[in-house]
Amino acid sequence: MDTMSSSADRGSGHGPAPRAVRTLLRALVALLAACLVALGGTGAAHAAGSDDGLVKVFVVPDPAQSGGQLATLPSIAAATLGDASRSGEILDLNRGQAQKDGGALNGPDDQLHPGWILRLPQDASGPDVRLARDTGNQSTSTASAPPAAGGQTSTTFTFPLAAAVAVLGTILLALVTAGIVGRRKVRIAYDAVRRAVRRLGEPMRRRRRLTQRQATARRFATDAEAVRRAYGTLGEFAPTRQRPERPVHALRVDGTGVTVWLTAADTADAPWTSVDGTRWRRPAAAAGWLTGGEDTAVTAQAAVGAACLVRAGTDADGEPVFVDLSRLDGVLSVSGDQGVARDVVQNVLAEIARTRPETPVTVLRGADGALPLTVPSGLRQLPRVDAPAPVLPAAEQGTVRAGAARRPVRGLVVVAGTPGEAAAAELAALCGPGGAGWTGLVCGEAAGAHWRWRTDADGHVDIPVLDVRLTVPA
């Protein structure tokens, strides 16, 4: 009985043993705190030393590296400061400074030459911002070279010794604590260590994801073959004398074949095989639309004339997935993470600019004051569009025109942010039933939208109607 009582006392936290445990734990916590203080002191000293004589700069890229577009002061301000109207600050910092080629920036309309190094305000940020040592003379300032062709840059990550000591101290503390207080504490300590290590590696993971998304955007800009194959596939589902059109809502194109998303009531003939209730797969070797003769080519061309395919992103295998905006039914609402939602809409605009240049676009500002999106040069931006008298959309109808009906993309209405009352009325007049027949792209919540996509901070977009999650180009 005495032995059992003593064991119970020790297990319940009474007696001299727990006091020794608490003393040891306090000592270990003090050791860990000392490691963290050392980490903070070392980090502060490193930050103070590394900032000496360094300024933030932007290196003007060659047009061949930026899609043929030469950088301007407003575009630099938008990319590094988030506000194109701050271009005057960049001009003031660089006015009259001699560049390596002998030129100098003297006015807001001066053309920027590739290789120029322009100083930026200290709050500048983004992948295009670099550090240069201020030598007092612009012509002798040093900065890293512009990215090589293809846009790839290299980044070196360092892991400070103090950080390694702090992580090691945390691991030791977890192990010792687990040995003293029992198995239940092992899981708690392990989770704490895992969260700490994950926080240390999160900046590197974010940079890696951003690099992958930027590479996807460059791939989309040059991969015309996938676009041709996607449009050609639509010809197999065009209407014939024997059967009506089978709507294709999305396609996945890869090196081994094509996958299409149909409605649950539709089917596809051989060589198509069913993947699930709505997806059908055809191997690349059975590309009948390429060898099906003149009639097949005519029906394919008819489908191309009405459809408007855009690559919304890449799936888990890195393959592009197309959606047909001609089946949008009025408005696409992209919500969730604001930055990634803007990337979704910017990518859709870039896709349309490549396949349907000169498509008219008008941009509206949302009620939340979000910055306007950039319209690609291939599209025709209109400051104002004459439309039927704006009427606020009815709650039960919204902007949906006709479910699953194909309507040509006559023009685009882009709303940066959630529409306010005036923007919602104009959106309904341009895109809703009885309106001008345009297509709406909204970075935010849009009442009555038939298509709703949601993004997250990791660069993904969920498309519920297709039941897919894609990685968004950046």
In the predicted structure, residue 429 carries a pLDDT above the cut 50: yes
The reply to whether 29 and 79 lie within a common domain is no
In eight-state DSSP terms, residue 139 is G
| Structural contact between residues 443 and 334, judged by C-beta atoms closer than 8 angstroms | yes
Domain final residue, candidates 186, 202, 220: 220
Query: Minimal CA–CA distance to 79: which of 448, 434, 374, 299?
Result: 374
Query: Minimal CA–CA distance to 324: which of 441, 445, 418, 407?
Result: 407
The reply to whether 335 and 237 lie within a common domain is no
In the chain, the number of structural domains is 4
The reply to whether 208 and 261 lie within a common domain is no
Residue 70's pLDDT is 84
Q: What does the alpha-carbon distance between residue 326 and residue 329 come to, in Å, rounded to a whole number?
A: 8
In the predicted structure, residue 293 carries a pLDDT above the cut 90: no
Cα–Cα distances in angstroms (integers) from residue 322 to residues 47, 229, 245, 248, in the given order = 46, 11, 19, 10
The reply to whether 425 and 361 lie within a common domain is yes
The reply to whether 341 and 437 lie within a common domain is yes
Residue 188's pLDDT is 80
Structural domain contains residue 440:
yes
Structural domain contains residue 273:
yes
Average pLDDT over residues 334-343: 93
| Structural contact between residues 103 and 28, judged by C-beta atoms closer than 8 angstroms | no
Distance between alpha carbon 3 and the CA centroid of its chain, in Å? 64
Q: What does the alpha-carbon distance between residue 65 and residue 423 come to, in Å, rounded to a whole number?
A: 37
Which residues form the domain of 125? 52-139
In eight-state DSSP terms, residue 394 is P
Residue 287's pLDDT is 54
Average pLDDT over residues 169-175: 73
How many C-beta atoms lie closer than 10 Å to residue 57's C-beta?
26
Structural domain contains residue 368:
yes
pLDDT, tens digit (0-9, with 9 covering 90-100), for 76-118: 999 999 999 999 999 999 999 888 888 899 999 888 999 899 9
Q: What does the alpha-carbon distance between residue 183 and residue 176 come to, in Å, rounded to a whole number?
A: 12
Q: What does the alpha-carbon distance between residue 101 and residue 118 come to, in Å, rounded to a whole number?
A: 13
Residue 295's pLDDT is 44
Structural domain contains residue 355:
yes
The reply to whether 239 and 356 lie within a common domain is no
The reply to whether 36 and 175 lie within a common domain is yes
Average pLDDT over residues 128-155: 55
The reply to whether 57 and 108 lie within a common domain is yes
In the predicted structure, residue 459 carries a pLDDT above the cut 90: yes
Domain final residue, candidates 278, 307, 336: 307
How many C-beta atoms lie closer than 10 Å to residue 178's C-beta?
17
The reply to whether 412 and 463 lie within a common domain is yes
Structural domain contains residue 16:
no
The reply to whether 31 and 175 lie within a common domain is yes
Structural domain contains residue 14:
no
Residue 110 contacts by C-beta under 8 Å, 6 or more apart in sequence? Answer: none
Domain final residue, candidates 82, 106, 139: 139
In the predicted structure, residue 297 carries a pLDDT above the cut 50: no
The reply to whether 131 and 242 lie within a common domain is no
Cα–Cα distances in angstroms (integers) from residue 397 to residues 331, 380, 446, in the given order = 12, 30, 13
Structural domain contains residue 251:
yes
The reply to whether 338 and 462 lie within a common domain is yes
Residue 11 contacts by C-beta under 8 Å, 6 or more apart in sequence? Answer: none
In the predicted structure, residue 376 carries a pLDDT above the cut 90: yes
More confident residue, 189 or 60: 60
Structural domain contains residue 437:
yes
In the predicted structure, residue 24 carries a pLDDT above the cut 90: no
In the predicted structure, residue 202 carries a pLDDT above the cut 70: yes
In total, the chain counts a number of residues equal to 474
